[in-house]
Amino acid sequence: MKVDVLLGLQWGDEGKGKVVDVLTPRYDVVARFQGGPNAGHTLEFGGHKYVLRSIPSGVFQPGGVNIIGSGVVLDPVLFAQEARELEKSGVDLRKILRISRKANLILPTHRMLDAAGEKAKGEGKIGTTGKGIGPTYTDKISRNGLRVGDLENNTGKYAAARDRHLQMLASMGCPADPATLADLEKAWMEAVEYLLTYELIDSEYEINEALEAGKKVLCEGAQGTMLDIDFGSYPFVTSSNTISAGACTGLGVAPGRIGDVYGIFKAYCTRVGSGPFPTELFDETGRKIRDLGHEYGAVTGRERRCGWIDLVALRYAIMLNGVTKLIMMKSDVLDDFPVIKACVAYKINGKETRRVPFDIDAADIEPVYVELPGWQTPMTAVKSEAEFPARFSEYVAFLEKELGVPIAIVSVGPDRTQTIER
């Protein structure tokens, strides 16, 4: 068997959580392969809304196993909060969730280092989620990380990491307050005890054995392709590989084992935090998209920056990921617009290009737009492709032609049921 991968093609918040939840009944295993509590994946069904951060979005559907893979960075405190809430809402989490021993742990001092790093950057700050993601992956790559499996036998690695971090914080002019640190450490240690009540696994074996046994595995991406550490809008990115290759390194799945790659995008585009965004709108239209799309961070509550769909960036993302099926989200947000714009090329120094430039951050990019007539019909109650207004079908056909990949699913509202397969 092969694994299917579902990931974001833009700057995150495309609606990954919703679609993973919808697709889960077709899979035996759902596995997160990168990122951590910087993610906020929203699911809605039965009149309830849930936001998941570290826990895979397959936990609300019966039957399957959910895995927090080795490429993930896990904060025990936030994990415990999230898990306890799920248990309260009736999810028998211990039965369905497994955690990789190789996942790296986020320490309280990683979060302090994240804040200190942002402070040091001043105006040039990344606008991180403040969850300690960058410092934790830095420790992993520099071979200083503390991993979930280390918790099973008290190795003294925690104290060594903490002391190193405290020295770094002092040298950055942001020394940790001892009383605050003591409180945070107490909460962290308690959360570790809770974490250890879950089944820890060697997830690379578990997943490959599942595939050998004919089981179906869905890999759930976090963030989005344009936030990838290697190919995103560097340095305004997250610190992991968000692209499909990240599923191989983050789960121990061989490249030849990748099956379908579901690429999710919004019918427009958003971004949170700093960094380049060529099609960003600073006008009434941008505000209208934000209001109608409720574009505020699922975790941080920050206003999301909004703009038109960027097909240059989407083609790039499709190429990097080997996307086989596209999923278009939040098309209903554009229901009201008489004209919808799509950026088909960039103009840089008077020259048109269809490539994302190396210096996307510094380049003066002028988007080249195609204007399409809006469908101006409410879509949220539409149940099948047969009910699509003609202009909506034209928009879908236009995107498929521009992107060269079929749009397999169209989402017309936040609820599980507002999902149309074509």
Footprint of ligand IMO on this chain (CB under 6 A)?
A: 8, 12-13, 38-41, 126-129, 131, 133-134, 222-224, 227, 236, 238-239, 272-273, 298
* Interface with ligand GDP, residue 413, by CB under 6 A: yes
Count of C-beta atoms within a 10 Å radius of residue 347: 14
Q: Which of 8, 40, 71, 246 binds Mg ion (CB under 5 A)?
A: 40
Phi, psi of 105 (to 5 degrees): -95, 140
Active-site positions read 13, 41
Gyration radius (Cα) of the chain, Å: 21
Based on the shown chain and the rule CB under 5 A, indicate whether residue 14 belongs to the binding site for Mg ion: no
Binder of residue 15, out of Mg ion, ligand IMO, ligand GDP, none (CB less than 5 to 8 A by kind): ligand GDP
- The residue from 13, 75, 114, 206 that contacts ligand GDP (CB under 6 A) is 13
Which residue, 75 or 332, is less far from ligand GDP as judged by CB? 332
SS3 content of the chain, % helix, strand, coil (to 5): 35, 25, 40
Nearest residue to 37 via CA among 7, 13, 72, 85: 72
Structure letter (DSSP) for residue 379: -
Q: Which of these segments, 12-20, 123-131, 239-247, 400-408, binds ligand GDP (CB under 6 A)?
A: 12-20
Written as six digits, the tokens of 9 are 């093609």
Cα–Cα distance between 343 and 324 in angstroms, integer?
Answer: 22
* Ramachandran area for residue 218 (φ above 0: left; ψ -120 to 50: alpha; else beta): beta
Question: Which of ligand GDP, Mg ion, ligand IMO, none does residue 272 bind (CB under 5 to 8 Å by kind)?
Answer: ligand IMO
Residues 59 and 407: their CA atoms lie apart, in Å, by 26
E strands of 238-315, at which residues? 258-266, 269-271, 305-307, 309-310
Asked if 343 and 373 count as a contact pair (C-beta separation under 8 A), the reply is no
- Choose among ligand GDP, Mg ion, ligand IMO, none what residue 24 binds, the Cβ cut-off being 5 to 8 Å by kind: none
State whether residue 49 is helix, strand or coil.
strand
Provide, rounded to whole angstroms, the least separation between the CB of residue 324 and ligand GDP. 19
- Looking at 35-43, 149-157, 278-286, 315-323, which segment touches Mg ion (CB under 5 A)? 35-43
Q: Does 98 bind ligand GDP (CB under 6 A)?
A: no
The stretch among 16-24, 114-122, 278-286, 341-349 that binds ligand GDP (CB under 6 A) is 16-24
Q: Comparing C-alpha atoms, which of 263, 290, 221 is closest to residue 405?
A: 263
Fill in the per-residue mask, 296 to 315: x = in contact with Mg ion (CB under 5 A), - = not in contact: --x-----------------
Tell the smallest beta-carbon distance from residue 269 to ligand GDP (Å): 13
Least separation in angstroms between CB 130 and ligand IMO: 7
Of 139 and 228, CB closest to ligand GDP: 228
Nearest CB to ligand GDP, comparing residues 44 and 402: 44
Q: How far apart are CA 90 and CA 320, in angstroms?
A: 39
Q: Cα–Cα distance between 418 and 214 in angstroms, integer?
A: 30
Q: Which does 18 bind (CB under 5 to 8 A by kind): Mg ion, ligand GDP, ligand IMO, none?
A: ligand GDP
Q: What is residue 95's three-state secondary structure? A: helix
What residue ranges bind Mg ion (CB under 5 A)? Answer: 13, 40, 298
What residue ranges bind ligand GDP (CB under 6 A)? Answer: 8, 12-18, 39-42, 44, 294, 298, 329-330, 332-333, 411-414
